[in-house]
Amino acid sequence: MQPWWFEHTGELARGLLVGAFVFVGVWETLRRQRILVLPTAKRWLLNGLLLFLANITTFLVFPVSAVALSAAVRSSPYGVLNGAWLAYPVRAVLAFLLLDLFRYATHYLQHAVPLLWRFHRVHHADRDLDLSTGVRFHPGEALFTHGVYLLVIAATAPPAFVVLCSELCNIAQAFFSHANLTLPSRVEKTLRMIQVTPEIHRIHHSQDPGDQRCNLAVIFSFWDRLFRTYRSFSNLGEDQLEFGLEEISASQSLRPLAMLTLPFYRRTGAAGER
């Protein structure tokens, strides 16, 4: 018999998605970091459409959820995180760290491998940065990240409850790290030692190519320090910091067809033509 939460993972994820969106949305309204340039309604509609298409695509290709897969492989003799010789608290901590490290590694590859960068550019094409950017991903990128994620779970067999917690934290963190908000300076300095903050992640969304290859962590910021991809200040400077990609205009970044076809063209100027 499965625990109650196993039967309601979908509801928990959707509930947190809505709750975190509302909470962070109110927060960034009260603690706004900068005035957004593009029409918010158009951006939110586009980013919401991309979220919908990404979820539909991954569900059709990978109908099994990460939590269900982790439960199915819990007795696997090959899993490195389901050994009885490891106490459950140790397995839980290791699994949570491993899943976040996987997300860092995947993000690193998306900036290092040209083919993957083609799809990831859709995320970076956003000329403004707020919580909705956290769900702006091309369906092709979602297929890659979710497919590899399932392979990691199948190979390591992490506890199902830890996988659920990791996914819920990832949802909340996606909104938080992209939020257009400012934390009190003391909170910012303390929190960024452990967790990725909006100020850290804003540097990653800079138009400067060097900035884009830094601050790749998702939840725990110490991965960037460990692998020397951490950057405290943008090459452009805080006053000159601009988001998006230089080769993608603001108008193109708002067009659904241009964003969906972007990975198949070398330059955005050709997004509507060959």
How open is the CA angle 166-62-60, to the nearest 5 degrees? Answer: 125
- CA–CA separation, 265 and 271 (whole Å): 6
Q: With a cut of 50, say whether residue 58 has pLDDT above it.
A: yes
Of 112-126, 208-222, 234-248, the one with minimum mean pLDDT is: 234-248
The reported pLDDT for the residue numbered 75 is 83
The pLDDT of residue 270 is above 60? no
Over residues 104-120, the mean pLDDT reads: 97
**DSSP assignment, residue 195?**
B
Q: How many CA atoms lie within 13 A of 243 on its CB side?
A: 25
Question: What are the CA-CA distances from residue 177 to residues 2, 24, 152, 220, 258 (Å)?
Answer: 33, 10, 24, 11, 26
Distances (CA, A) of 78 to 75, 81, 217: 9, 9, 28
Query: Cα(81)–Cα(70) distance, rounded to whole angstroms?
Result: 11
Residue 269 has pLDDT above 70, yes or no: no
Rounded distance, CA 168 to CA 163, Å? Answer: 9
Residue with more model confidence, 179 or 81? 179
Q: Is the pLDDT of residue 273 over 80?
A: no
Q: pLDDT tens digits for 152-177? A: 999 999 999 999 999 999 999 999 99
Q: DSSP states of 200-244 as a string?
A: HHHHHTBSSHHHHTS---SSBTHHHHHTT---SS-TT-GGG--BS
In the predicted structure, residue 261 carries a pLDDT above the cut 50: yes
Average pLDDT over residues 179-203: 95
pLDDT of residue 1: 59
Q: What per-residue confidence (pLDDT) applies to 120?
A: 98
